[in-house]
A and B are shown apart, each in its own frame.
Chain A
């Protein structure tokens, strides 16, 4: 009989999951939790990826300052590549697509060769962006290789979370698709120990949360005040507070060309993996992420490569919709259903006197005020991420100690354990843990209403003289009768209906 209830709950829960709605609406909050956790868990000690990667950004202001129009002459790119070569980077990805033939293509090709085959050092892998369906100037591929700059579709409010290992196959020479920029760069880094088979599965990007120290020296990274932050979160949701400065260490073309004897520039470029891209207005080359405000597209490749450096062969696979993920989701929901049936929520005891009502209201107001002040202090000292995690921890504690809801606490443990298993063993991206927990609450309410309806049905049917007729009613009768029997059996383990509590007489 228990199997019947477990099966029913599992079905209800899975419907919530399969039909997108619940988890979709909870995504902003779930993503905010993930962002907060990632802030403290993504490569906390070493910052291997952040140390290895540098973005050289051609900004709108650099165009004006240098007095060059858009699109820039190839000669300007050539000078920038010359400057890059002088710092001896480990590898370079040029996030510009050179499709049109220009008068100065030869100078550009020479600059690429100067960068890729230096006379005073080992060869440097150089890649040029080659979007699918376009043809990069062949002359430029003499000393450089083509790499796909393909960007996946954003996933709702979370932005771009996946990164393909190869671009769209092109029948004109790359039937299996070019490697994407991050994967192409990773394949050239022997320190990462990848072989070609390791770099075929698409990546789920973990957007590291933080700002590279060098960026703070020249970017405007001011964060909103406590009041403004709370206001923005209440008005626009938990993902309203996006960071204005990127995680990846960045210098501009201005820094590159005009600085001399600068240790920061030498450190940022010497032996590093450099991605050279643009942040121009009205060009559409922008990426949405769950952590940062809109960034130039080159940061997508930089973050993806950062993930490959940070996680190595254990990089997080983009298999959210794969069969394995679906099966593990189903198993988790089944466990949750068993917990729901085995550990039903204990009903609250209604106050017996008016004095008790007053006492409860007073206690609730005091507890609420203390909680609010504590939360404000936590947010003020540790930031919004710590505040969000503190709210979650406090809620679990409340359900455990105050409402004595062991089932909820067990489920939190199981969900977190499963999320860690997904992340560290199966190498999948962070799961929508909040949706699991809300599923638990929603299904519990559904279960309560179904049970009440079944009890009412059995009670009314008992007053009827005639047994139900027809296959549909016979099936309904059999199902609901057994459901009520199983629920009555569970009452012995602590599940009490409101009716039995009020009358004191078990049915």
Chain B
């Protein structure tokens, strides 16, 4: 009977220590508090670093210049990742970089690839150029 009391107490302490260690682990990594992950490698020779979240206004960044990991800050609706490169915040395509955790931005979920298509008597794009001319 005397031995029974310390056993739950020890279990409780062990559990508390375990939880604390799990919570504390990310906090020990400096600068990662707001990051979703980190770019640890560049997968292609010249990665396009874009100013816009839709992948425009890009500048090439040679793989040889990559040294320290880049924190991933955000994801754009067009599927790009925002990363911190030195003082700059730029956007990159997911395939161009290797991240420490998987990023799956805007996955095509619930897609129907094979379906019965209605027969139509039309060709795509007929007249599109004319509309564009009128707009000008």
Some 9 contacts from A to B, beta carbons below 8 A apart, are A67-B54, A70-B125, A83-B93, A218-B110, A219-B111, A246-B113, A250-B113, A258-B103, A260-B81
Which among A67, A85, A242, A259 is the interface contact of B105 at CB below 8 angstroms? A259
Query: Quick one: CB contact mask for B111-136 with A, threshold 8 Å, 1 for yes?
Result: 11111110010111100100000000
Q: Nearest chain-B residue to A119 (Cβ)?
A: B45
Which among A65, A261, A296 is the interface contact of B100 at CB below 8 angstroms? A261
Is A254 touching B106 in the complex (CB atoms < 8 A)? yes
**Does A295 interact with chain B (Cβ within 8 Å)?**
yes
Which among B81, B106, B115 is the interface contact of A244 at CB below 8 angstroms? B115
Q: Which of A166-174, A274-282, A409-417 contacts B (4 or more CB under 8 A)?
A: A274-282
Is B115 touching A260 in the complex (CB atoms < 8 A)? no
Count chain B CB atoms within 10 A of each CB in A69, A242, A293 and give the residue with the most: A293
Q: Which residues of B contact A245 (CB under 8 A)?
A: 113-114
Q: Which residues of A contact B98 (CB under 8 A)?
A: 260-261
- A293-B115 CB under 8 A given contacts A66-B78, A258-B95: yes
Query: Quick one: CB contact mask for A256-283 with B, threshold 8 Å, 1 for yes?
Result: 1111111100000000000000011111
Q: Could you tell me the distance between the alpha carbons of A62 and B96 in the complex, rounded to whole angstroms?
A: 18
Is B125 touching A71 in the complex (CB atoms < 8 A)? yes
A307, chain B: closest CB distance, angstroms = 19
Q: Nearest chain-A residue to B75 (Cβ)?
A: A258
**Does A319 interact with chain B (Cβ within 8 Å)?**
no
Q: Which residues of B contact A261 (CB under 8 A)?
A: 98-103
Is B99 touching A279 in the complex (CB atoms < 8 A)? no
A267, chain B: closest CB distance, angstroms = 13
Q: Which residues of A contact B55 (CB under 8 A)?
A: 66
Q: Could you tell me the distance between the alpha carbons of A35 and B72 in the complex, rounded to whole angstroms?
A: 48
Which among B96, B102, B106 is the interface contact of A65 at CB below 8 angstroms? B106
Count chain A CB atoms within 10 A of each CB in B45, B77, B101, B128 and give the residue with the most: B45
Is B117 touching A254 in the complex (CB atoms < 8 A)? no
Q: Could you tell me the distance between the alpha carbons of A295 and B111 in the complex, rounded to whole angstroms?
A: 13
Is B95 touching A220 in the complex (CB atoms < 8 A)? no
**Does B108 interact with chain A (Cβ within 8 Å)?**
yes
Is B114 touching A220 in the complex (CB atoms < 8 A)? no
- Give A35-69 interface residues, CB cut-off 8 Å to B: 57, 59, 61-62, 65-67, 69
Report the count of interface residues on B (CB-CB < 8 A).
Answer: 41
**Does A374 interact with chain B (Cβ within 8 Å)?**
no
**Does A148 interact with chain B (Cβ within 8 Å)?**
no
Is A257 touching B108 in the complex (CB atoms < 8 A)? no
Interface of B toward A, CB cutoff 8 Å: 43-45, 54-55, 77-81, 93-117, 120, 122-125, 128
Q: Nearest chain-A residue to B109 (Cβ)?
A: A218
B35, chain A: closest CB distance, angstroms = 14
- A86-B122 CB under 8 A given contacts A66-B78, A260-B97: no
- Give A239-258 interface residues, CB cut-off 8 Å to B: 242-246, 250, 252, 254-258
A69, chain B: closest CB distance, angstroms = 8
Count chain B CB atoms within 10 A of each CB in A86, A244, A261, A293 and give the residue with the most: A261
Minimum-distance CB pairs A-B, first 7: A258-B79, A260-B94, A282-B124, A293-B114, A258-B105, A83-B95, A260-B103
Count chain A CB atoms within 10 A of each CB in B96, B112, B114 and give the residue with the most: B114
**Does A485 interact with chain B (Cβ within 8 Å)?**
no
**Does A105 interact with chain B (Cβ within 8 Å)?**
no
Is A294 touching B117 in the complex (CB atoms < 8 A)? yes
| Sample of 10 further A-B pairs with CB below 8 A, known A70-B124, A260-B95 | A66-B78, A67-B78, A83-B95, A83-B96, A218-B107, A255-B108, A258-B79, A260-B102, A261-B103, A286-B117
Is B111 touching A257 in the complex (CB atoms < 8 A)? no
Q: Which residues of B contact A477 (CB under 8 A)?
A: none
- A218-B114 CB under 8 A given contacts A83-B93, A260-B99, A261-B100: no
**Does A405 interact with chain B (Cβ within 8 Å)?**
no
Q: Which residues of A contact B93 (CB under 8 A)?
A: 79, 83, 257-258
Q: Which residues of B contact A57 (CB under 8 A)?
A: 113
**Does A292 interact with chain B (Cβ within 8 Å)?**
yes
**Does A82 interact with chain B (Cβ within 8 Å)?**
yes
Q: Could you tell me the distance between the alpha carbons of A69 and B98 in the complex, rounded to whole angstroms?
A: 29
Q: Nearest chain-A residue to B40 (Cβ)?
A: A261
A92, chain B: closest CB distance, angstroms = 15
Q: Could you tell me the distance between the alpha carbons of A263 and B104 in the complex, rounded to whole angstroms?
A: 11
Is B111 touching A220 in the complex (CB atoms < 8 A)? yes
